[in-house]
Amino acid sequence: MSFENIVLNPEEAEITDKIDKIEEKRLNLFQEVDLPSEKRSGEFKQFLEEKYVNLSGEENFDELEEDFIIRKYFDHFNFKEEDLKNKDILDLGCGPGYFVKYCLDENITSEAYGFDLEMDSELAEGKYRDHLQKGDFTKKIPFQDKKFDYILASASLEDLFVKEKNEEAKEVLESLLSLLKDEGEMRVYPLRKIPPEIAPEETKRDKEKMERLLQAKKARENWKKVLNDLKEENLIDFKIQPIDIRVLSYKKDFWLEELLIISKISH
């Protein structure tokens, strides 16, 4: 926050300062994920309780509700609308294409595109047909004639890492990198970090509930291998930002959901 902003806009500066403190507090809580459960603060445990209380309402929300999906895009990918103004955007695994539609309708950009393996949206048959395509990114990625500022992937890549198809995953990422502009970014959500107390022997007691946690652990390890390989080859740099904690059950099983930001290194 600049000195000028504090002097000229004291009320705005105070609000901004409060927001900064809330964000700092939230990030501090996220760091407790790596601690043993007995060392986590009461504040963290209260945070999990509040997340669980809110869980049922979110789970019951219609997943196809357009406004809900759009809000989640901005939250999960850590964007504001002005960040995307006049940018070229590719939505990998776009579902019905609501986010592409929103960017076009709101004049955020005229260059928003999406594709999905099971594209059956009515949007793809109407005025958005040039912006939405059906496609399997493991075989051929559409829109090869374009270059993008941002490629967004929401839960569309993880299956490759869960199934330990690391070579195929690396090839897919390299193909996507070729579609980025020199200063472009690929944003992937979520990378999931599970707490240290979760171990394979837990599945013996509660296999069904623990399966997703163990998949998250496997996927995370494979992501790390592939990302480090690409970084060593001087193709990318990357950073990981914590976004939210996902509580899975009344037992307060949880994981930390993070945003992976891959930056292309131009040569």
* Per-block mean pLDDT, blocks of 10 residues, the chain (267 long): 43 56 82 90 91 65 72 94 97 91 96 88 81 86 91 91 92 93 94 79 60 85 95 95 87 88 88
Do 220 and 192 meet the contact criterion of CB atoms below 8 Å apart? yes
The predicted structure's pLDDT at residue 212: 79
Assign residue 235 the CATH number of its domain.
Answer: 3.40.50.150
The answer to whether residue 8 sits within a structural domain is: no
The predicted structure's pLDDT at residue 199: 59
The predicted structure's pLDDT at residue 177: 93
The answer to whether residue 35 sits within a structural domain is: no
The answer to whether residue 140 sits within a structural domain is: yes
The answer to whether residue 231 sits within a structural domain is: yes
> Residue 172: exposed, middle, or buried by beta-carbon count in 10 A (0-12, 13-18, 19+)?
buried
The answer to whether residue 166 sits within a structural domain is: yes
The answer to whether residue 149 sits within a structural domain is: yes
d(CA 47, CA 249): 14
The answer to whether residue 51 sits within a structural domain is: no
- Rama region for 24: left / alpha / beta (φ>0; ψ in -120 to 50; rest): alpha
Containing structural domain, residue 199: 63-264
The answer to whether residue 46 sits within a structural domain is: no
Q: How many domains does the chain have?
A: 1
